[in-house]
Amino acid sequence: MRPAGKTLRSPDDLIASGLAPPDRRAELEQVAARYALALTPEVVELVDRTDRHDPIARQFVPDAAELNTRPQEHADPIGDDAHSPVEGIVHRYPDRVLLKPVHVCAVYCRFCFRREMVGRRPALSRAELATALDYIRAHSEIWEVILTGGDPLVLSPRRLGEIVKALAAMAHVKVIRVHTRVPVVEPDRITPELIRALKAPGKATYVALHVNHARELSKTAREACARLVEAGIPMLSQSVLLRGLNDDAATLGELMRALVECRIKPYYLHHGDLAPGTSHWRTGIEEGQALMRALRGRLSGLCQPTYVLDIPGGHGKSPIGPGYIDRVGTNGTAPYEIEDFKGCRHAYPPPPPSAGQRRTPGG
């Protein structure tokens, strides 16, 4: 059952719902004039109004800090436009493309790297979508198509099914991956009709869930994810490392464990992109590496995402997690030194045991 209420889309809505005080109206209006605003009833219900630093509200309620743009920030921080041969397509890597059929979302994250575009541009027209599909059809090296945007799961099952059916007819496309927040922020959209629309005979469909805090995985969100998984659609996650929200080992570890409990494999932990007005969210890379060290060995391997940075200018993602092995040896000594999860270092290969340490057969 969906919570009562409407999606909040204006500063007046936020004030009327008690998510912002009236004296913040002017700053909220400034931010909302530049960046899209939406909170679904499901998100509003998750907010702890007694906590002024509530991790749910902070992700979706505008903040005046968003108006502060740093010199290194950019409207297209990961260089999508440089790799967009036709409208709606980003072809950065040889074997996969992004297909962005829609530029709206059910909610708008305050740290979004596409914040200059989402909620501002129309969906692809039928002609533009046909051109995008023709591009994929003409490039036989494309093995995987990633539906993103915007959030593709705001589309109706009929429109989503048309896209999946068109991709399914392309023999070279083997994998369809959908990136979404919908199971968390509007779980009732995950209906049998939508699940059927996602599946295509002979193709592998994956759903990648964007989630940043364990509290987002409410009972209804978990049930929506279970409907996908039990229908045979594997799920992955992607999260953004956010200052003051999930940048401590306990909070991040709780999120990763909660995901695995939901049968969702942690996939990416993104270092914050250089999107305009997001400097207050970004951590240092060394902080992120320290967090990954804290997770390694203390949580199951199932709980380990890959910490990545999307290189500005369109050069793609690179893993930036901590290193555990160094080449140190020369002249016949052990060539490597490797660090364990406790921080102790060990020669590799280890030196042979001394004569006194060797055990003879039967010894």
- For residue 282, indicate whether it is catalytic: no
- For residue 247, indicate whether it is catalytic: no
Q: Which among 66, 57, 65 has a CA at the least distance from the CA of 19? A: 57
- For residue 268, indicate whether it is catalytic: no
Residue in 92, 110, 215, 282 annotated catalytic? 92
* Distance in angstroms (rounded) separating the CA atoms of residues 223 and 262: 9
Residue in 9, 34, 96, 174 annotated catalytic? 96
* Distance in angstroms (rounded) separating the CA atoms of residues 66 and 295: 31
Give the CA radius of gyration of the chain: 23
Alpha-carbon torsion, ordered 47, 190, 171, 145, to 10 deg: -10
Residue in 25, 137, 265, 317 annotated catalytic? 317
Residue in 13, 80, 151, 310 annotated catalytic? 310
- For residue 303, indicate whether it is catalytic: no
Residue in 80, 108, 112, 215 annotated catalytic? 112
Q: Which residues face 269 on adjacent strands?
A: 239, 307
Residue in 273, 282, 303, 307 annotated catalytic? 273
Residue in 76, 93, 159, 293 annotated catalytic? 93
| 17: Cβ contacts below 8 Å, ≥ 6 apart | 5, 8, 44
- For residue 262, indicate whether it is catalytic: no
What is the number of helices (H) and of strands (E) in the chain?
A: 11, 12
Query: What SS3 class is residue 42?
Result: helix
Residue 219's identity, in one-letter code, is: K
Q: Which among 360, 297, 287, 357 has a CA at the least distance from the CA of 324? A: 297
* Distance in angstroms (rounded) separating the CA atoms of residues 271 and 310: 8
* Distance in angstroms (rounded) separating the CA atoms of residues 63 and 343: 39
Residue in 58, 110, 114, 189 annotated catalytic? 114
| DSSP classification of residue 271 | P
Residue in 105, 225, 262, 303 annotated catalytic? 105
* Strand 89-93, strand 96-99: pairing: antiparallel
Residue in 109, 225, 262, 303 annotated catalytic? 109
- For residue 181, indicate whether it is catalytic: no
* Distance in angstroms (rounded) separating the CA atoms of residues 302 and 253: 11
Which residue numbers are catalytic? Answer: 92-93, 96, 105, 109, 112, 114, 273, 310, 317
